[in-house]
Amino acid sequence: MKKYSIFQYFSSRIRFALNPSLVLLSLGFSFAMSAQAAEYRSVLPQKAIAYDAPSAASKKIYVMDQGYPVEVIVDLGAWLKVRDQRSGLSWVEGKDLDKKRMVLVTDQTDIKSAESLDAKLLATVEKDVVLELLSPRINKGWVKVKHQDGITGYIQSSAVWGLH
């Protein structure tokens, strides 16, 4: 009788039990899900209500102002489960969210004319100011944004929430 090590015994049986195509498909799906970028949206109307469940009859948690960015966790079409900057989870009606990308300033910071600390200062923005994200591409720690007053420039990506 031929002796097998535990590894040889199981590997010979697993080889026949697993369909290589299914293994590759499931691995590809796993990697695709882990590599998928976060989806962000912003509040479209002047005010949007955050609920504790996907129903207007559920408990109202808080109100979000226009432009406030949220991360989409679950998309049911008419309702979206979202995460806010403070990691709070809530449900918002899909019609109240826009695909326009916005970011929230997390600490007072400067908008510069170029992607450099030495660049000309265009404006200083306070914590909790919402800025339009003109390009989600981070270049050397900087992103291009636009203030509601029309000032366009670069801000350090570490000073905002809503990028990734």
3-state secondary structure of 54: coil
The pLDDT of residue 136 is 86
Sign of the torsion angle spanned by Cα atoms 80, 85, 87, 90: negative
Which residue did the predictor score with more confidence, 95 or 13? 95
The pLDDT of residue 164 is 81
CA distance 93 to 60: 12
Question: How high does pLDDT run on average in the chain?
Answer: 84
Q: Provide Rg for the chain, Cα atoms.
A: 23
DSSP annotation of 145 reads: E
Q: Where is average pLDDT lowest: 7-11, 41-45, 90-94, 112-116?
A: 7-11
90 with 82: CB under 8 angstroms? yes
> What pLDDT, in 10s, does the model give residues 29-83?
433 444 467 899 999 999 999 999 999 999 999 999 999 999 999 999 999 999 9
Q: pTM for the complete prediction? A: 0.75
3-state secondary structure of 104: strand
The pLDDT of residue 36 is 60
Q: Could you give all domains of the chain from N- to C-terminal order, each with its CATH number? A: 6-33 (no CATH), 39-98 (2.30.30.40), 102-161 (2.30.30.40)
128 with 152: CB under 8 angstroms? no
